[in-house]
Amino acid sequence: MRKPIIAGNWKMNNTKAEAKVLIQELIPLVKNAESDVVICVPYTVIETAAALTKGTNIKVGAENVAWADKGAFTGEVSAQMLKEVGAEYVIIGHSERRQYFGETDDSVNKRTVQALKNGFTPIICVGETLDEREGGVTEQVCKRQIIGAYAGISASDAEKTVVAYEPVWAIGTGRTATSGQAQETISYIRGVLKELYGKTAEKVRIQYGGSMNPSNVSELMAQPDIDGGLIGGASLKAADFSKVVNYK
Ligand code: PEP
């Protein structure tokens, strides 16, 4: 009932020239995908990516969005600017943004509100650090992040969002959560969304992210609450990303 969504997060990788090569290689490899396919790319690459993927089944996303419409926000990029160059999705609250750039549950909420107001599909990232998992507070952390991200957001808007559960200790480390761990926490997150939105929670797609790759994708995707993946490292090679996309 929920269409799977596989999204690449290129992070700070690929110039326009490099992006062109990767996207041209990727297009034929994912053209028969049964999942939604998204590539979230650096700001400087969005326009190129949108032009190259026009008329294909690949959608383009940004890796962040400003919470304000315009003005004195040095270094930020507005929703209108992103729309103009062809982005339709946006990653919000990635753990690298939280860890290195001071994103908080409040800034994640404000960016999410702005993304929804401008017709984007936000991919809202949540997840615990290793210390938090070992300290037994994974659920508390995810609950706080979800409640914070969705503050003031209506059920009809929540339905349009995607959540990415990304245990921080699994991102870029080669250490994947077991399918059981991922399912357990994602089902817990869906429960929190149920407390907030009732039945609408069944419609929200929740991805797993954290070293997802061609060899573990099938087992992760077989879990009942895992509706897709947010893929970092493995999205930088067309062969790997397409194998994740075509996981069946
Ligand atoms: C990510 O950046 O969201 C991510 C999951 O990275 P990786 O797949 O490299 O762990």
Report the mean per-residue pLDDT for the chain. Answer: 97
**124 C-alpha to center of ligand 1: Å?**
14
What is the pLDDT averaged over residues 106-122? 98
In the prediction, which pLDDT does 174 show?
A: 86
The answer for residues whose C-beta is within 8 angstroms of residue 208's C-beta and 6 or more apart is: 164, 165, 166, 177, 182, 186, 220, 226, 228, 229, 230
Q: pLDDT tens across 14-36, in order?
A: 999 999 999 999 999 999 999 99
Ligand 1: nearest atom to the Cα of 234: 8
Q: How far apart are CA 98 and CA 244, in angstroms?
A: 26
Identify the band that residue 138 occupies on the pLDDT scale cut at 50, 70 and 90: very high
Q: How far apart are CA 248 and CA 219, in angstroms?
A: 10
pLDDT higher than threshold 90 for residue 176: no
**152 C-alpha to center of ligand 1: Å?**
29
pLDDT higher than threshold 90 for residue 106: yes
